[in-house]
Structure formats: structure tokens, C-alpha cells
Amino acid sequence: MMKIKFTLVAFLMLATSSIMAQFSLGGEFRPRTEYFGNGGNFTVAPGTLPSTTAVEGNEGFISTSVRAAIKATYKAETYTLYTSLQEVFLFGDRQQISAAGNGNLRIQEAWADIKLGESTSLKVGRQPISYDDQRILGGLGWAQQARTHDAAILKYLNNGYSLDLGGALNTNASTGPVYNNSTLFTYRDMGLLRANKKYGKLNISALALVNTYQDGRIDGHPKATLFTGGFHAGYNTGALSLTANLYLQEGQRLAPPTGAVLDVKGAYLASLLAKYKFSDKLTLGAGYETISGRTDDSAAFFPLYGTNHAFNGLMDRFYVGNHGNAGGLNDLQVSLSTKVSGIAVTLTGHYFTEVEDVASAPGINTGAVGLAGKDLGSELDLVLAKKFKEFKLVGGYSLFFEPSEVVGKDTQNWAWLMLIIQPKFL
């Protein structure tokens, strides 16, 4: 009898161990406190930067946003299921004894990756889509709310070659086939094709996107289709790394709030970034990016669904809810990365100029950066990061220097400190 009991206990322990090996539960707690010097326009989503420039004499302010998430993964023989529940909130956005929340609790991700064969799978559901350096498609992890797509992607992976074919269709029950939202950060439907191949130290990707925009709030429900396609290349020897992008846009897009159809003809983005690691404590970098602006016969290029915060300065003065159809952007940057007492230190400088001499950009929100003339200002970004045993601290300080001809604007300064804790419960 005792032998039978020990056998049952051993069996239950093995079964429990097997189940736990398939199921994992984690979380994330990420508060970020930011200081916005000279005020600015804080009418954007929690944890993102103001889209307008500082006004001389305005008072600065402090704001704290938090990402709190629970993440669950279950792995079976033929599929992986992942769900995450997330809330983004600001300190003070809910009264202490309020019975209601702030409305920001949501299912952040819910997807299944189904194995169809040895080299093929189908990932379907609410998911981030990130490729390469995330210039066109990225998860936008900096923003507390992040970015996801409701999509299905067929994936093929074999011998270092990958091919993704997918799409998404956004509709809702109240409007049926009509999509009642049209901005550059959303779409009615999307088709994507992405191929990647690694050749030793060289990594090359090709990406093609087709997006249809529709605004059901306007008579006639205007639609427009935009094609974005191009290449990403990376070369890494260990000491030297090179990253290049080249993308083109053709077709049409809509201009909210009027719903006017804008032609896009040969709009482009091109960039080259080089970094050289002199030692474990010193890396220097230099890069240049040019993004076409609005011309007489074409709207400007827009980077769409990338992690734009990682490009063109950390203060998000360009292409983060602003500068949507302005005079384009040239971004010359230099950087230095080092370590001091176990703290990773990165200092990056940007000098911005305009591609096209555009005074303003009608139709699409440009924020306050659609300046006439070539000089758009310069920026200095300092980032400090320190890893501890079970958490990480990251912080920074940035300055944006307005062009000398700009009147009534002051130097914008921004400081931030972020705590990252990612526990694994099971």
C-alpha cells in the first residue's frame, strides 16, 4: 500500500512538473517619471512626449506613467498560446476612492502560433510586428502602451532564410465594412511580405507593405491605398557594424480631418549608420538619414508603424504624432557609448535640416516643426543604464536647441528615470 502511495505521489509530481514546463507566467512593472522643461503640450498618450515645442516662459512640470502587465505563455506540441493583460496609468489619473478605473486596462496581446510543418507556422491574433531595426514595423516598446496589430502571419523559416506573408483587416460591428478611423498610425487593411537571409556577417531583408486607409466619418467614406517597400541591410564584424535602410512610398493616403486624398509619388527614406567598437568600454558612431518632404506633386514619406522614438532624437520632435506631411528631414548624428562604474552611458548628438523648403503642411497634423527654411534645430541625448540583480534602472537627459531665427521658443529640456522589473512567477 505504501509503495502505491509513493508511486502516485511521484506520478503527480512528474505530471505537475510537465504542466509547469509548458506554462509560464510573468509580469512587468515599469514606472517612468519625466520632467518636461518649459511646459509643452501634454495632450498625447501617457508616457509619450509633447508634440509641440516649448514656449518661452512656460513652467516645466513632472509626470509619472506606469506600465503594469501580466503575461502568460502556454506551449503545446503543435502551438504556442500567449496572452498579456496590461494597464497604463498616470500618477493621479484616478481619485483614491473612485469605483471606476481610467479605462486603460486592456488585453495587450492575445495570439496563437500554430505549427503547420517543420518549417512553417501561422501566428494569428493581437500581436506586435517587429522587423530588423524597427524602422517601418516595430513594437514601440518605449511608449508605455506599445503597439500591436490584429493580424495573421504565415511564417517560413529554413536554413537561415525566413519568409513572412500576412495581413490584417480592421472593421467594427457598428459600421460593418466601413472603417471609421484614418490616421497614419492605423489602417483599414494591411498586407505584408517580408523576406530575410543571413550570409555570414551580412544580414539582408526586403519588406513590402500595402495599406488601405478609410475614413467612415466623412461622406463617401473615402479610401486610399499606399505602398511602402524597400530593403534593410546589416553588417557586423564584432568591432564594426553598419546598418542601412532604403524605402520608397507610392500611391495615396488620406488627410484628416478633411478626408482629402493625397498623392504619394516617389517618397523615400534612406539611412546609413556606422559604429566602431574600440574596446569593451568605448564605441563611436556616426550616421545620416534623409526623409523626403512634401513637394508640389507628392506628399512626404512617413515611417508608418516603426519604433520612431529610436530615430531622429529621443525628444520625439519628428514623426511621433507630428511632422506628418512637412518638409522632410535630414538627420546627421554622432554618438559615443561607454561604461563608467558598471553604468552604460550613451551620448548622441543630432543636427536636423529640412529637405524641402515648406512653410507648413496642410491636411495632416505637423505639430510645430513645419518650419520654412533649412535649419530645424539640434538635439543632445544622454542615456544612462544600470543593471542590478533583479531589476534595471534607465534614465536620461535631453536638450533641443531651436534654430536661431525662431522667435518665442526656448530651449526644450527633458529628463526621465525609469525602473524596469520583469518578474517570472512560474
DSSP string, 321-377: SS-TTSS-EEEEEEEEEEEETTEEEEEEEEEEE-SS--S--SSS--TT---SSSEEE
Contact 268/248 with Cβ under 8 angstroms? yes
Q: What is the DSSP pairing of strand 61-75 with strand 120-127?
A: unpaired
- pLDDT value of position 402: 85
- The string of DSSP codes covering 195-234 is EEEEETTEEEEEEEEEEEEEETTSTT--EEEEEEEEEEEE
Number of neighbours of residue 43 by Cβ within 10 angstroms: 9
Cα separation, 131 vs 123, in Å, equals: 15
d(CA 290, CA 283): 24
Inter-residue contact 55 to 41 (CB < 8 Å)? no
**Mean local confidence (pLDDT), 124-146:** 96
| pLDDT at site 368 | 40
Closest-CA residue to 192 (of 213, 208, 168): 208
CA distance 65 to 120: 40
Quick check: 395 pLDDT over 60?
yes
Instruction: Give 410 or 190, the one with higher predicted confidence.
Output: 190
Is pLDDT of 102 > 50?
yes
| pLDDT for 4 | 55
- Residue 1's pLDDT band, with cuts at 50, 70 and 90, is low
pTM of the model: 0.87
CA–CA gap between residue 237 and residue 202 (Å, rounded): 9
pLDDT for 255: 80
Is domain 21-420 annotated with CATH 2.40.160.100?
yes
The H-assigned helical ranges of 1-72 are 2-22
User: Percent of the chain scored above 90 by pLDDT?
Assistant: 65
User: How far apart (Å, rounded) are the C-alpha atoms in residues 42 and 32?
Assistant: 15
Tell me which of 34-48, 49-63, 410-424 is least confident: 34-48
pLDDT band (50, 70, 90) for residue 221: confident
- pLDDT of 53 higher than 60: no
How does pLDDT run across 165-205, given as a tens digit for each residue?
999 998 877 766 777 666 767 889 999 999 999 999 999 99
pLDDT recorded at residue 96: 84
Grid cell at residue 132: 530588423
pLDDT at 203: 96
What is the structure's pLDDT at 422?
97
| Helix locations, 23-157, DSSP H | none
Q: pLDDT tens-digit profile of 269-278? A: 999 999 999 9
pLDDT of 287 above 90:
yes
Q: In this predicted structure, what is the pLDDT of residue 17?
A: 53
pLDDT at 246: 98
Q: What is the pLDDT of residue 43?
A: 37
Which pLDDT score, from 0 to 100, does residue 177 have?
A: 74
Contact indicator for 69, 84 with CB cutoff of 8 Å: yes
**Residue 272 bridge partners (DSSP):** 244, 288
The pLDDT of residue 165: 98
Q: How far apart are CA 293 and CA 331, in angstroms?
A: 13
Average pLDDT, the chain: 86
Tell whether the model's pLDDT for residue 98 goes beyond 50.
yes
CA distances from 288 to 67, 74, 129, 240, 319 (A): 33, 43, 25, 17, 16
As a whole number of angstroms, the distance between CA 88 and CA 69 comes to 9
pLDDT in tens, 312-364: 999 998 988 778 888 999 999 999 999 999 999 999 999 999 998 775 443 33
Per-residue CA distances from 20 to 15, 76, 207 (Å): 9, 12, 38
367 is written with which cell numbers? Answer: 505639430
Enter the C-alpha cell of residue 134. 524597427
Please state, for a pLDDT cut of 70, what percent of the chain lies above it.
Answer: 83
Cα–Cα distance, 163 to 373 (Å, whole number): 43
Residue 257 preceded by cis peptide, ω within 30: yes
Between CA 126 and CA 129 the distance in angstroms is 10
Mean pLDDT of the 236-257 span: 93
Q: What is the pLDDT at residue 77?
A: 93
What are the CA-CA distances from residue 201 to residues 52, 207, 277 (Å)?
Answer: 41, 20, 16
Say if residues 372 and 349 touch (Cβ distance below 8 Å): no
- Can you give the pLDDT at residue 372? 43
Task: Name the grid cell of 38.
Answer: 518649459
Between CA 341 and CA 327 the distance in angstroms is 43
pLDDT at site 54: 56
Per-residue model confidence as pLDDT tens digits over 364-388:
333 444 444 588 899 999 999 999 9
Q: For position 185, what pLDDT does the model report?
A: 78
Angle at 209 between CA 205 and CA 215, to 5 degrees: 155
Split at pLDDT 50, 70, 90, the class of 309 is very high
**Residue 186, SS3 per DSSP:** coil
Predicted local distance difference test score (pLDDT) of residue 326: 87
pLDDT tens for 62-91 read 999 999 999 999 999 999 999 999 999 999
| Residue 366 near residue 324, CB atoms below 8 Å | yes
CB count, 10 Å around CB of 316? Answer: 24
